[in-house]
Amino acid sequence: MPIQIGFADRVFRLIALLASIGIIAMMIHVCADVIWRTVSGRPLPATVEIVSRYYMVFVAFLPLAWVEQRRAMISVEIAEGFMTTPVRVFSDIAVALFSCAVYAVMTWTTWEMALKNYATGTFVMALNQQVPVWPSYFLPPFGFGLAAFATALRGVDIIRGAFRGQPATGGTE
């Protein structure tokens, strides 16, 4: 069962909706490119670059928090059935904290990369035109940062549940 934390839950759902809109925009763009190529014999400028540098990054990184919030990430729970409730709660809290730490490191690392690409004005060439791609470098730190926040909320949720005597909620139930 997913974390239900009001405002954060709505933000994560909105981000997932935006990623869904990104998929639709990507499909429309690619279809328009195919149609234009068929009609005119020429591709729409920078379609491959925009799809790979913007749409794909948008769709891959923004919904991470929503996936974490729903506890829909891949997990292997070989020993969970053998654990006592206190050990399972400890394990779930440790996983949430470790995940939060990993996402935080990834947020910091990708943020530094985004700032470097912004400073240099990174672009790619497409049909003799410069296509700026530095803005897309800000999507991964945003997605990782929200995922870190979601895993931190999950850890808090597990701790609160443990103190209320509820079963651990860290796995995919």
pLDDT-derived band at 126 (thresholds 50, 70, 90) equals: confident
Reported as a single tens digit per residue, the pLDDT across 7-23 is: 888 888 899 899 999 99
Residue 132 bridge partners (DSSP): 123
- Taking residue 56's Cβ as centre, other Cβ atoms within 10 Å add up to 16
Q: What is the mean pLDDT of the chain?
A: 87
Residue 41 has pLDDT above 80, yes or no: yes
- Helices 139-163 and 85-120 pack at an angle, to 10 degrees, of 160
